[in-house]
Amino acid sequence: MAKGIREIKRQIKSVQNTRQITKAMEMVASAKLRKAQEKAQASRPYKEKLKEVVSSIASGSEEISHPMLVSRPVKRTAYIVITSDGGLVGGYNANLLRAVMDTLKAKHASTEEYGLFVIGRKGRDYLSRRNQPVVHSVTDLSDSPKFSDIKSLAYSAVQGFEIGEYDEVFICYSKFINAISQKPTVDRLLPFDKVESEGATAEYEYEPSPERVLEMLLPKYAETLIFSALLEGKASELGAKMTAMGSATKNASEMINQLTLTFNRARQAAITQEITEIVAGANAQS
């Protein structure tokens, strides 16, 4: 019985240590989540203004055209997949990768019809193990990523569309809703749809010409959308980690309560047994 009690005490101590770790990780993720949200929100005005200018130029004249605005028969598709480098993020990666695989199965008959540009070690390893065509990958990003971290990948995907290597580009990421809710999303990035500007917009004069400005802006706009999705994905990742660690902390507390109850019952049973043995011994001597 004493051996059983010591084992329960060791289990309680082990779970208490685990709870301290998960609680600390939850607090760290919460602090980083606030910063990630701020970065995502700070990027939105730039993205919206760039969208306004691009829409203004693209809809200004029927004669203005660019390869990124032209739909063509789809022979090959590129997918930019944004996942995390590490684990302990609940269903963040699993839900997104399931959505990606479902999309690939629904849209393509073979792996020759698409290429994958993957951000994050979890996505790269998952897709590589399943013999998926990973064309380009970026790993080991910080919790505050910079555009320079993914510049080569974004340029490669956008350039692939411009030169006709890919006829469509999709971006797959987790859209941040709140700390406990992230929505796996697969959006078409290229070709752009010509969107008419809503309401009154500023009139611009372009130098040297609208066509030349559009030629310069559209690739930058595409790269901006990719980086914005990365920031959304990072906020979603940290939100998922905070939630997962919070649940782990709660489960550890419940386990400690159950083990403590078991320990008290075992100790009470041991005391009762000792008293019984003492009484029995005393009766035998009398």
> Over 70: is that where the pLDDT of 278 sits?
yes
Q: Between these two residues, 246 and 38, which has the higher pLDDT value? A: 246
User: What's the pLDDT at 134?
Assistant: 96
> Over 90: is that where the pLDDT of 59 sits?
no
> Over 70: is that where the pLDDT of 13 sits?
yes
User: What's the pLDDT at 30?
Assistant: 92
Cα–Cα distance measured from residue 30 to residue 38, given in angstroms and rounded to the nearest whole number: 13
Q: Rounded to whole angstroms, what are the CA distances from 16 to 13, 266, 270? A: 5, 20, 24
Name the DSSP class of 108. -
Segment 16-22 shows an average pLDDT of 95
User: What's the pLDDT at 39?
Assistant: 86
Cα–Cα distance measured from residue 23 to residue 217, given in angstroms and rounded to the nearest whole number: 45
Residue 64: name the closest of 212, 281, 276 by CA. 212
> Over 90: is that where the pLDDT of 252 sits?
yes
Q: Quickly state the pLDDT bin for 276 (edges 50, 70, 90).
A: confident
The three-state secondary structure class of 168 is: strand
For residue range 155-177, what is the model confidence (pLDDT) as tens digits? 999 999 989 999 999 999 999 88
CA-angle at 216, arms to 210 and 220, nearest 5°: 130
For residue range 98-130, what is the model confidence (pLDDT) as tens digits? 999 999 999 999 999 999 999 999 999 999 999
Q: Quickly state the pLDDT bin for 135 (edges 50, 70, 90).
A: very high
> Over 60: is that where the pLDDT of 132 sits?
yes
- In order of start, what are the domains of the chain with their CATH numbers? 2-24+246-285 (1.10.287.80), 27-243 (3.40.1380.10)
Residue 203: name the closest of 62, 53, 65 by CA. 53
The tokens of 162 are what? Answer: 């411009």
The tokens of 67 are what? Answer: 């390869």
Segment 31-40 shows an average pLDDT of 88
Q: Between these two residues, 212 and 146, which has the higher pLDDT value? A: 146
CA-angle at 53, arms to 73 and 225, nearest 5°: 60
